[in-house]
Amino acid sequence: MEGFKKFILRGNVVDLAVGVVIGAAFNTVVSSFVKSFFTPIITFISGNGKLSSLYFSIGAVKINYGDFISALISFVIVAVVIYFFVVLPMNKLQQIANSGKSIDPTTKKCPYCFSEINVKATRCPECTSTLKNVKVKF
């Protein structure tokens, strides 16, 4: 039971659970918004009383496309909100965080074996190659 408790209380699981709950609530709000505002506008334009009753027929097959239009509008609204209020701010934060990287790195790549070595090293500990043009700071 202790392992399960550690798993549940890890930050990623709790963050994911909160995200799912908020996402579900947000989806309900967007669906209500589409149903209350966009559906009447589309039904007014189409001249039909209900968006879900919009259809076309191919032979004996009736294809309802009104519900699809409603779901598509909901999806676009959610996608736009996620992009502008989650993705763009996160990208900006990452850009700010990456711009503050250390000017003096503590490691570098060996040009021969590509292993990571200390910047002060004059010889690679993996392949024992002598590193040229090394500036040693003490």
pLDDT in tens, 99-130: 766 566 788 888 889 888 888 888 888 898 88
* pLDDT surpasses 80 at 88: yes
Is 39 within 8 Å of 51 (Cβ atoms)?
yes
Superfamily of domain 2-99: Large-conductance mechanosensitive channel, MscL; domain 1 (1.10.1200.120)
pLDDT tens digits for range 36-68: 887 788 778 777 667 777 788 899 998 888 888
Q: What is the pTM of this model?
A: 0.52
Q: Could you tell me the residue ranges of all domains in the chain?
A: 2-99, 103-138
What is the pLDDT, as a whole number, of residue 73?
84
pLDDT at 135: 55
CB 51 within 8 A of CB 31: no
E strands in 1-138 = 55-58, 61-64, 107-109, 116-118
* Encoded tokens for 93: 């934060």
